[in-house]
Chains A and B, each alone.
Chain A
Amino acid sequence: MVVMTFWTVRNFQLAPDFSFSNWVTILSADYVWDAYARSFLGAGLASVLVTLLAFPCAYYLGLKASPRVRLIGACLIMAPFFTSFLVRAYTWRTMLGDQGVINAILGWFGFEPVQMINNLFGSIIGYLTLVMPLVLLLQLFSLSAIDRRLIEAAHNLGCGPYWAILRVVVPAAKTGIILAAAFSFVLAFGDLISPQVLGGSNPPTLSILIVDQVRGGLQWPRAAVIAVVMVLTLITVVTAAMVMTYGGNRRQSIRGKS
C-alpha cells in the first residue's frame, strides 16, 4: 500500500512510478484535514461514550448477576453479530428518520421532528451500534476475572459502593476497559457505513474520502495515501493505549520489586 502511494494513474490504469504528487495533493487539501479531525473526534467520542455506557451493564453481568443471568446476557450481547451491520444501520435510519418511529412518538406529545440522521448524532449512533457488543464482551471478561475478595475487602475497610467501583473495580479491570476503548476507536475510525448511511456523508470522514478518490478518476494512489495516514494514526492510538495499560503496571511492578 505504501508503494502504491507513489504510483500515478494514466488512462484509468495504475502506472508504477515514484512521484510525491499524491502525498502533496492529499496532505495540502483542507478538506482532508477537516475530515481527519472529524473522523478522529467522532471515533474518540464514540470510544468514550461506549466505555461509559457499556460499563454499568458489564459491571452488573460480571459481578452482580447470577451465572444464569450472566449467560443469558452474554448470549444477548452476541446476538447482534448474527446480523449484518449494514442491515442494523438501515434499521436505525428508519427508526431515527423524520417520519421514523422515534419522531412519531415525539409527535404524539406535540414535539416537532428532531433531526437525528444525516449529522454527527446519526454517525455516533452508528459507531455505538458497531462497537457496543464487542466492548461489552471485553469489559465483561475483564470484570468477571476480578477477585471478588478485593471488593469485599474494600467494603470491610469502610469503602462505599461507588468508591469501591472507582478505586478497586476500575483499576483491576483497567486492561480490559482500555483495550475495549482502543478497539472501538480502531473500528469507528475506519467505519464507512455509519458516516455514510446514518451521517449522510454530511460532512465526509476519511473513509468516505477514500471511496470518493477511487470513484472519481480511479485515484487508488491518493486513496492509498489516506489509508496510510489512517493506519499510522491507528498505530499511534493503539500504542498509546498499550502504554497506558501496561506502562503503569511495569512501573508498579518495578517499584514492588525494589
Chain B
Amino acid sequence: MKKIGNKNTPPRSRSRRKFLRQGVAAGAVALSAPMLIRPAKADKQVLNWLTYSGHSAEEVIGPFTEATGIKIQAKEYADGEKMLALIHGSPAGTFDLVTSDAPYVELLVKSNLLQAMKPEDYDLDSFFPEFRSWEQHWFDGKLMALMTSWGYNGLAYNTEKLSAADVSSYDVMWRDDLKGKLGMRDWYLPIMGCISAGMGHKDPYNITNEQFDALKKRMFSLKPNVAGFWNFAGVFDSLANGGAYVIPGCGDWIAGLLQRANHKIASAVPKEGAIMWTESVSIVRGTPRLEQANKLVRYLTGVEGQTRLMTKSSYMANGPSRTAWDHLAKINPREAEMLHMTEKEDNIMNVLRDGRIIPRRLPSNQSMETWQEAYTQFQNL
C-alpha cells in the first residue's frame, strides 16, 4: 500500500515541498517582523522610556513631542520591583531613560546601569534647594538621577466621617467605630511604612528584628477593622463610595483626583510622619540618544513638564521645581491648593522641612520577602 501510494503521489509530494518552502518563507517573514519594526527603535527621534503609569500619556508629554519631534515609546510599570525585573530582564539598549523611586536609583547604580548626568545641563536653579542636592541621587559626587515628582503616603480620609483632628495620628486606624471601614492598599511597602512610622520609628524601614516583630504584632492588631486590601482602582472606588473612611499609604496624589470628582476626601500627614514617595529620572548607560534623552529630562524638570506631571489624570504629584510651583498657583490655584502647594504656613514644603515627610528607603535589616510575607500573614488573619 505504502509503495503504491508513493508511486502515485509525486505531484502531491512536490506540492508539499512547495508548500513547505512557502511556509518557511512565510515563517521567515513573520520572524523578521521585529526587524522591520526595528528602524523605529533605532530611530534617533524615538526615546525608549521605562517609567510609571500615566507618564507617557499625551497630556504629559504631548508638548515635548510637538516641540522636538521626538516620539516617546514608553514601557510603564506600577511598582519598583517590577521595574528592576524589566530592566534586568531586557537586553542592553532596550531603554534610554528610566524613572524610578529614589531608593531604587541606588540599586540601578550598583548594577552599573546608569549614566552620570551633568548638573549644568539642567536648570537646577529652578529647584527648591533640597532637591538640587538630593542625597539619594548623588553617588561619589556624581549626579545619577533628577527628581521629577514626589508626594507622601499618609492617611486619606472621608471628611464627612472624620475630622482633620481625628487623622492627626495613625492611632485613628484602631478606633472601634471604624470597624470594617479601614481600607488597605494591597502593597506592603507604603502600609507597613505608615504603621512603622506610627510606632515612632524615625527611619521606618530600617528597624531591628525586635522592632520588626513588634511592627508585625501592631499591624496584626488592626485586622478587625480592615474592610479589604485593594489596588489603585479599589482604593479609589472605596473612598469614593463609602467602602472605607480612612486608608493609610495614601496622599494628595489620590485625594486630589477624588476632589476633582467632588468627593469629600482629603489626605493628611499624621504627626508621626508620612512616607515620602519620589520619582527620579535617570539616563541609561550607553544610550546612543544621549542628546535626545537630555532634552526629555530638561522638559520633565522644566515648568511645562513639571506642571503637567503635577496635574496629570493618572495621579497627582508635587514637584521639585519652585518655578513650576509658582506657575501652577497662577494658572490653576484650585489644584495647587489640592496639592498643598501654596504660600500658606502648612504648605507641603514646610511639612517636608519639618521632617514630617520621611524619605523612603529600602528595608535594610530584613529582606523584602520577609516584609511581604508579614503582610500576607496579615491579609490571611
Contact = CB atoms under 8 A, between A and B. Distances in A.
B237 A90 contact: yes
Contact of A31 (B227, B233, B380): B380
Interface stretch (B31-39, B76-84, B311-319): B76-84
B228 to A, nearest CB: 2
Contacts of A216: 81, 188, 368-369, 371-373, 375
Contact of B81 (A12, A31, A201): A12
A33 to B, nearest CB: 10
Interface in A148-203: 196-197, 199-203
A257 interface: no
A87 B295 CA distance: 39
A219 B369 CA distance: 8
Interface residues of B, number: 38
Contact of B237 (A12, A31, A94, A209): A94
B359 interface: no
A238 interface: no
A215 B372 contact: yes
A94 B372 contact: no
B379 interface: yes
Contacts of B380: 30-31, 34-35, 203-204
Interface stretch (A39-47, A56-64, A97-105, A128-136): A97-105
B368 A217 contact: yes
Contacts of B369: 216-217, 219
Interface string A207-251: 011001101111100000000000000000000000000000000
B228 A200 contact: yes
A118 interface: yes
Count chain A CB atoms within 10 A of each CB in B79, B85, B231 and give the residue with the most.
B85
A200 B230 CA distance: 6
Interface string B160-189: 000000000000000000001000001110
A90 B233 contact: yes
A1 B372 CA distance: 23
Contacts of B233: 90, 197
5 contacts: A200-B227, A202-B226, A216-B371, A217-B368, A218-B81
Interface of B: 79, 81-82, 84-85, 88-89, 107, 111, 180, 186-188, 226-231, 233-234, 237-238, 241-243, 367-369, 371-373, 375-377, 379-381
9 smallest A-B Cβ distances: which pairs?
A200-B228, A216-B372, A118-B228, A217-B369, A201-B229, A31-B380, A217-B368, A12-B84, A202-B228
Given A97-B237, A204-B380, A219-B369, 9 more contacts: A12-B81, A97-B242, A118-B228, A197-B234, A202-B227, A203-B381, A204-B376, A208-B379, A212-B375
